[in-house]
Amino acid sequence: MATRERTPRFRKRSTQAQPTVPDEKARPRGADLWGWLDDRLGLSALRYAVPKHANTLWYTLGGITFFGIVVLIITGVWLAQYYNPDPAAARASVLYIQNSVRFGDVIRGIHVWTAYLVVITAALHLIRIAVTASYKIPREINWLVGLGLLILLLFGGVFTGTVLRWDQEAYEAMSHNMEIASFFGTVGGFFSDAFTSSVGTLPRIYLAHVSVIPVLILLLLVVHIFLIKHHGISPTPAQADAGEAPGGRLPPEKETGHYPTHLRLMVGYGLALLGLAGILGVLLPQKIGAAPDPTMEVTKPPVFFYWMYAFEDWFGVQGILYAAIAFFGVLALLPFLDRTPFRSLRRRPVVAALGAALVILIVALSIKVAVSPTAKHLG
């Protein structure tokens, strides 16, 4: 009996696309890690557009300052492990850090020089904003926040850091602070020995240096960065005067740069700042003066305060207070006095003249104090 040949049956091919298995070899190294971090931290949110001019040194001074503040926090935490704020042991603990702790002189040098460099970069950042009129609508409040940051860095960081050294210059700096605070009556009493008998003035200044001031700086930084993100990076004066930035904001089509590039530049320049602070710390170590003698007044303040010291020569200790209020008061009022629509400096002759006069005055007074002998002001 003949067998019937069986015809093979074929399944109907599905027209639905089949999922493809990713080629593990084709995936870039670190892609899985980046995906994991991005999923949890939202790092891809940093991939937004910024103006092309933002990716220049002139517009990264604020980021460099932020990097320096991070360095100050890290080195400050390390130094705090060895510092003793007791007046009887403070200077000896600084000498111990400088001479006995491994890498103590280097880290202390980085901390001190970074504090100086951060004040310089913050001041240059302020000058850039003034030159480009970036304080105008809608950024007036952020100008005030940035000014507050500069004041905290200058008086809260450099001044209190000088006092913690607890040598002759430190003691005289604290005495000046206490005498100036007396002009504020009850409010200024916090800086006097009579405020409390349980804790001396030096430990309270140390507390301000390591906790109160850093917290205030970080809070203002959060507000500052939020407002920058909210308003965007300011246009150049040429763009603003040409009408390319209505309301002080550039339209999306004018933002042809990338924030990751901006971030890399800030980190790169910040590392250069750290390297410079390290070099200066090794080549120009911060000296520690003699133990304080309350009967003497023989030192000058840190160089950033020289110009105010000149007013002290003329008007007594209160001259420092008058000079600081006048200087920072004028800067605070600048966005509200300069109401012209122009942003180019040549079209703002009054602001240009005022800025040049302030810079020349500060430099001239600083030179005067540098070449003059010390004078007695306290008491």
Q: So where are the chain's domains?
A: 1-47, 51-299
Q: Is 257 helix (H, G, I), strand (E, B) or coil?
A: strand
Q: Report pLDDT for 65.
A: 97
Q: What is the DSSP string of 286-339?
A: PP--PPP-TT-------GGGHHHHHHHHHH-THHHHHHHHHHHHHHHHHHHH--
Query: Which CATH superfamily does the domain covering 51-299 fall into?
Result: Cytochrome Bc1 Complex; Chain C (1.20.810.10)
Answer positive or negative: Cα dihedral of 99, 118, 211, 196.
Answer: positive
Q: Indicate whether 192 pLDDT > 90.
A: no
Q: At what angle are helices 104-131 and 259-283 packed, to 10 degrees?
A: 130
Residue 23 scores a pLDDT above 80: no
* Mean pLDDT across 209-216: 95
Amino acid letter for position 175: S
The predicted structure's pLDDT at residue 195: 80
pLDDT computed for residue 333 by the predictor: 97
Taking the C-alpha atoms of residue 101 and residue 107, their distance in angstroms, rounded to an integer, is 10
Nearest to 46 by CA among 58, 29, 63, 30: 63
Residue 167: the pLDDT is 96
Instruction: Say how many Å lie between the first and final Cα of the chain, rounded.
Output: 133
Return the structure tokens found at 142.
């952020």
- Is 159 a residue whose pLDDT tops 60? yes
Question: Phi and psi (nearest 5°) for 256?
Answer: -105, 5
Residue 169 has pLDDT above 80, yes or no: yes
pLDDT at residue 100, as a whole number: 96
pLDDT of res. 280: 96
